[in-house]
Structure 1
Amino acid sequence: MHKSGIRRLAAGSLPLLSGAAAILLAVAIVLSPEASFEASLKGLKLWWTLVFPALLPFLILSEMLTASGFVHGFGVLLEPLMTRVFRLPGAASWTLALGMTAGFPAGAGGTGQLHQQGSLTSKEAGRLAALAHFASPVTVLIVIGVAFLHSPTSGYILLLIHWSSGLLAGFTASLFQRREASTPPPSRKPLYRRMALAAEEAHRRDGRSFGKLLGESVAAAVQQLMIAGGYIIMFAVVISLLTKALPLLSPAFPAALLELHLGAAAITAEAGYSGSLNGSLPAMVLLSAALGWSGICAQLQALTLLKPAGVRFLPMAAVRLLHSLYAAVLTLLVWKPLQALRANELPVLAEPDGAQTAAQQTTFTWSRLPELLSLQGALLLALLALSAAVYLFSRKRHPAG
């Protein structure tokens, strides 16, 4: 009874707190209109030149592939990997790949689609959303690696650390989850047949024609990105006001806490980073930790898309903290040994012209899409190979016949 009363009190005070925060923010904007306007323009430019063109194709593709049944057929193949390692349904495998290659909020969008189709419970949707919550390779490779650090190799290393620490955080979180009480008996049907049946059943449940599916996919993707744009612009204003109100506080702290892109820019600017792997190791640790945390802005974007599934903030934030901690530790362990790679700079992303500004270097997102598609294809092949190994091992231990 006492606990339920506390919950009701907290639920009743939440609207009052949010209303008070909105009033304070409005007053701060009125008192500092010029700074607020410049910050909103900065957030708008970041969203329009980077986030929108980078994520739109992936979000449309995710909607169409989920409705067509491809996700569920692919999930049958990866089911041993997802069920044994992350304790999630096999259909979650495509959402994990989507989150790793397209970033947030694509992972949350894919999770919401699976929950809407009935492939995930609310608890599984929360766990999958936390697992598939990654920064986009566009952000890590192009914005941070090229524009901020002037080193594609640094971007690749940060991306590998980001992926590894995120999967490790997801695996750690899965250890605290109970296994399902009952599991279906192994099927005697061939693997390709089970994949085809799963895809056919998912497509039948969806029932939309191609024309309707294409139109609704575009509309849903644009709506998701409009929500993301609103969050980015608002948090850019909040960060600007906090920095102005608390001059003794390092600008990198509120920026990294609230919004990833602005936080990465503040960390690299404060460190005076030259783009060399011999640069400030503490700055790289903070940058890697900020990528794992992703910012409250990105977490709220994901929760907005997952509102029908009832996903809560605290479990999501806990996995984000774990991801941030693992990323910081991995950076401390591997950054210095990888300094030798600086001499063998990866040729995929050429060194930018020193005369270009960071803003100019982040406006070529559309031309980078072939590289991002190749990254997604490489990741899918790796997942296929790993899942095939797990599947063969599982068949050897538990023959279907």
Structure 2
Amino acid sequence: MTRRSPLLTLLYACSAIALVIILVSHPETSFEAAIRGLEVWWEVVFPSTLPFIVLSEILMGVGVVHFAGVLLEPLMRPLFNVPGTGGFVLTMGFASGYPVAAKLTTRLREQGSITKAEGERLVSFTTTGDPLFVIGAVAIGFFHSELFGFVLAFSHYVSALLLGVLYRFYSPFSPATKPLEKNHLPLPLRALQAMHRARLRDRRPFGKLMGEAVQSALHTLLMIGGFIIVFSVLLQLFATIELTRFLSSLLAVFLGPLGVPSAFSSGIIAGLFEVTLGAQGISEVSSGVPMIWKAVVASAIVSWGGISVHAQVASILSETDIRVAPYLMARALHAALASLLAFFCWKPITASSWFAGKDVPVFMPTTSSGVPAGNWWDSLLHSSLAAFAILLVLIILSLCFRAVRKQRSK
């Protein structure tokens, strides 16, 4: 069925009409769900994401992305088949969570710093949850276990890097950006030179740069807030008309032969649409279910991200020629890889003496809708520290790669 198929048009129309009828017949339910979605966006997403998107825009404007691009070229090109500027997106995406990586990838594509295929590779493995969400909100806020957070974070981020290595073979014959020109200057000086040249090309005064960064961040966050509210309403309406229960019962039939407890079915259905509700649903499964299974399913849900996040990413990518299909395929692969890693790393991590005493219940403040809330300054500080640590590790690895390649060329 192609996009121009009249059957697809009819399906869209019927779905929209059905949703309007359900919405009108349950106005109070829709209103309450919209309020909950607005609360999640205003109290959690907005304060934790706005400063980071603004800072990302400013860093791109002053040329830091080009600085990182020169330093990380020896690492990003052979491992992930993307230019060194992709290291900046990787750092910010891992530290600040979805959908920041899509926003930065779109900016790089608009600037001509990456090709279409490189953008599709880049957004596919850099779109992840941020550490504060994965460890703080999901592991500690929902499962009340710091040890659970180590398992979840390890499986989530390592599987994302493995996905990036796999995706380096995606569209291998597509055009690629030219490698950076080499000169007699040392690598750090070349990076500073690239940053200075990028800043001169930008030409915007700092005041204008900051103003446009705030405007761009607000535009992106308003779009994210709209999707959060819409999907909050849709999920509540699906639960009201018993569609969620029907899908959960249907899924339970398929989970049995795979050895997965059927109690996870409702959480998986919720996580299919929205990652926070899915993780919360898994945490509420009976305590008789082994924790290893909860870690496996929660890791898959967090790595999948939810259709709500996918809609946000698709909306951002629509500004360029980067396709959404490779990204969606990557999300399914990421969920599969993360669940496998969580299963195999559960026993080694929980049995490790280094993690002894980490499984102590820790509680976080939550909003009235049950979503873990946090101080915006703490969110910014944690994200900034995570970004700095990731960037530092990438630079060290890049320098090591460069040294090894030089040694082999002699």
When normalised by structure 2's length, the TM-score is: 0.87
C-alpha displacement of 1:228: 0.7
Q: In the alignment, is the contact (CA less than 8 A) between 1:125 and 1:309 conserved in 2?
A: no
1:335 maps to what in 2? Answer: 346
1:233 maps to what in 2? Answer: 229
Does residue 258 in structure 1 map to residue 273 in structure 2?
Answer: yes
Q: Which amino acid aligns with 1:344?
A: G
- Counterpart Cα distance in 2 of 1:345 and 1:226: 38
- Counterpart Cα distance in 2 of 1:182 and 1:75: 12
1:91 maps to what in 2? Answer: 85
1:344 partner SS: coil
- Counterpart Cα distance in 1 of 2:216 and 2:366: 39
- Counterpart Cα distance in 1 of 2:52 and 2:319: 22
1:242 maps to what in 2? Answer: 238
Does residue 59 in structure 1 map to residue 53 in structure 2?
Answer: yes
- Counterpart Cα distance in 2 of 1:96 and 1:311: 17
1:119 partner SS: coil
Runs of 4 or more above 4 Å deviation:
12-16, 179-186, 353-358
2:393 maps to what in 1? Answer: 382
Q: RMSD of the alignment, in Å?
A: 2.6
Of 297, 310, 329 in structure 2, the residue corresponding to residue 299 of structure 1 is: 310
Q: Which amino acid aligns with 1:91?
A: T
C-alpha displacement of 1:192: 2.5
1:267 maps to what in 2? Answer: 282
Q: Note closer, same or farther for the CA distance 1:319–1:91 as it changes in structure 2 (3 Å cut).
A: same
2:212 maps to what in 1? Answer: 216
1:3 maps to what in 2? Answer: none
- Counterpart Cα distance in 1 of 2:36 and 2:111: 38
Q: Which amino acid aligns with 2:356?
A: A
Q: In the alignment, is the contact (CA less than 8 A) between 1:290 and 1:324 conserved in 2?
A: yes
C-alpha displacement of 1:163: 0.5
C-alpha displacement of 1:181: 7.7
2:19 partner SS: helix
Q: Note closer, same or farther for the CA distance 1:49–1:8 as it changes in structure 2 (3 Å cut).
A: closer
Q: Deviations over 1:323-374 (max 9, x none)?
A: 0000010011011222235633289xx8227999883842434334323322
Extract unaligned runs of 5+ from structure 1: 1-5
Q: In the alignment, is the contact (CA less than 8 A) between 1:86 and 1:170 conserved in 2?
A: yes
2:125 maps to what in 1? Answer: 131
Of 23, 26, 50 in structure 2, the residue corresponding to residue 29 of structure 1 is: 23
- Counterpart Cα distance in 1 of 2:215 and 2:280: 31
2:384 maps to what in 1? Answer: 373
C-alpha displacement of 1:20: 3.1
Does residue 396 in structure 1 map to residue 392 in structure 2?
Answer: no
Q: In the alignment, is the contact (CA less than 8 A) between 1:243 and 1:249 conserved in 2?
A: no
Alignment coverage as a number of residue pairs: 387
Q: Deviations over 1:8-64 (max 9, x none)?
A: 634x65554434322221111112222222222221122112111111111111111
Q: Deviations over 1:220-265 (max 9, x none)?
A: 1111111111111111111122223223433323311111111111
Of 62, 72, 75 in structure 1, the residue corresponding to residue 66 of structure 2 is: 72
Q: Deviations over 1:54-81 (max 9, x none)?
A: 1111111111111111111111110011
Percent identity of the aligned residues?
Answer: 34
- Counterpart Cα distance in 2 of 1:370 and 1:76: 26
When normalised by structure 1's length, the TM-score is: 0.88
Extract unaligned runs of 5+ from structure 2: 249-265
1:282-361 equivalent positions in 2, closer than 5 A: 282-340=293-351, 343-345=356-358, 351-352=362-363, 359=370, 361=372
Comparing 193-202 with 102-111, greater Cα deviation is found at 193-202
